[in-house]
A and B are shown apart, each in its own frame.
Chain A
Amino acid sequence: MGNYLIRGGRVIDPAAGLDRPLDLLIEAGRLKALAEPGTVPPPPGFGVIDAAGLVVTPGFIDLHAHLREPGHEHKETILTGTRAAARGGFTTLCAMPNTDPPIDTPERVAFVYDRAREAGVVRVLPIACVSRGQAGRELADLVELAEAGAVGFSDDGRPVYDGRLMRRALEYGLLTGRPVIDHCEEPALAEGASANEGPVAGRLGLRGMPAAAEEVPVARNIALAELTGGWVHLAHLSTRGSVELVRAAKGRGVRVTAEVCPHHLTLTDRWLLGAEGNAYPPVGTLPIPNDLPPYDARTKVNPPLRAWSDCLALIAGLRDGTIDVIATDHAPHHWLDKACEYGQAAFGISGLETAFGLLMTLVHAGLLDLPTLIARLTAGPGRILEQAGFRVPYTFRPGEPVDLAVLDPEAVWVVRPEEFASLGKNTPLAGVTLRGRVVLTIFNGEVVFDGRQRPA
C-alpha cells in the first residue's frame, strides 16, 4: 500500500466543507493526516507529490458509464474503461448493464465484480437491469441482484416505457433500498430521431427528438415515485423542462435524484452544423470552437445535444442542488459505428477522459464555481451510493483508504482521442483545446494514473 505526502495543494473536499491549502499524508494507503501546509516533514520512504498550484479532491465518482463487457469488447472492456476512468480522475464507476448478455442475474453481477478486480484499476459497481433481459416486460430478480451487489437498477439505453413496470420496479425496489435509474425517453415521441428537435435539426433535415420526449417520462417517473414512495434516479437529464420538474418534485419531498452529463452542460446542437455553427451568434455560449464538418456523427448522443437555454437551466440546476450529480454517460463505440450516415450512426460519446477539462469551461466562464463542480463529482454521487448502502470514499476521512484526484485547473491541452486509454475514440472534442486537466489519480491509496511526466 502506498505511502505519500501530497504537499502544497488546494484541498477541495465539499463534503467536509474544506477549501484551503492542506497537506495529505497517506500511510499504507490510508489517510494518516490532513495537515496545515509545511507542518509535516516527509517521512523516509514516502513519495512526495508536489501539488503546489494544483487542486486536490476526493476521487470522482461516476454513476453512469458503459464498459461494454461482456459482449462488446471491441468497443470497451472493463480494463480499458477503468484505465480511462483513472485518467479522468474517477475512482468509482457504476457500470450500466446493457451488455450482451445484459446484467440481469446475480452471476452476471458477480462477473463484473470479478473482471473489475482482475483489472485492478479503480472501483466498479455494477448496475443491474430493471427488467429481465432488458426487455421491458417483467421485473428482474431485484432482491437477488441487490444481494449480489447491484448498486441500482436500470434498463439504460432503453427507457422503462411501460408505466406499470416502472411502478412495480419502484415499489419492489423498496425491498432493496437501491434506486431505479431511468433513461427518460417516450419512444413514440423519439422514434427514429437523431438530433434535438429545433432549428438545427430542421435545417439539417434530421428527425428531431423533442424536449417533451424526455419531460413526459420525467413527469411520469416523479408521479410514480410519489405514488409508491420508491426512489427514482433520473439519468442524463438534458432539458430545461426536466430541471423544472425535478426542482418542483424535490420541493415537495419526492424521492428523486438526478444527474447531468458534461456534454449536455457545455455543447449545443449547433455542433451538428460543424464549424459553421461557430458563425452563428450564440449569445453566451461557451467559447469552445469546433472544426468539425457538418453531420459529424461524433456529435450524436442520446439524449441529443440541446439548446443553450437548456445548458443554462442544467447549470442552474447543478448550482442549486436540483441536480445532484454529474455523470459521464461514457459511451465508447468502435469507429465503424460512427463512420456512417448521421441517421444510422450509434449514439454516444466517450466521456471519461474529457469530463473534467470540459466541465472546467463552465468554471472558467464564471458559470459554476469549482467547489460546486467538485461536489457534484464527489459528495453528490457519494451520498447517493451511501443511501443505496455503499460506502465509497467521497470525502477525506482520517484512517480510511484514500481515493483522490490531483487537478490542474489551468493546464491547457488538446484532446487527442488516439491517446485515450478508452477504446472509444468517439468524441466531438477531438482536436479541441481545453483548460483543466487531471494530473494524478490515487485509488485505494495507490497511484493509478500519473500524468506529471507527460510532455506538455
Chain B
Amino acid sequence: MKYFGLYNYWVFTLLLMIGLYAVIAKANLVKKLLGLSIFQSAVFLLYISMAKVDGGTAPIIQHADEPQVFSNPLPHVLILTAIVVGISTIALGLAIVVRIREEYGTIEENEIQARDRDR
C-alpha cells in the first residue's frame, strides 16, 4: 500500500511518459500533437489530485451548523486556465499541420525533411 496508495500520481507519471513517447517516436505530425495533448492532460491530473481533501465537498457555503470540509479549489481554477492554454496550443498546432499539408502535401516528418533537402 505504501507505494500504490497514491495511485493517482502513478497514473500521472504513466500518462506523462506515454505522451512524451508519442511526441518523440511518432513521425506523423497529428500523432505528435495527440501525444502532446496526453502529456499536458497528465499535468492536469497532477494538479487535480493534489486538490483532493478526504471527505471534502465542493467549496460552496453550506449551513453553518454542518461541519465544512472543502476540496482545495485553487488547483481546479489553475487547471481551468491550463486547459484553455492546452486547447489553444493544440488548435494552433493543428492549424500549422493543415498549412504544412497544403505546402508539402504530406504530414510525415521524414517526408517533409526529404522535401526540404530537395529545395
On whether the two chains bind one another, the answer is: no
**Interface residues, chain A, with chain B CB atoms under 8 Å away:** none
**Interface residues, chain B, with chain A CB atoms under 8 Å away:** none
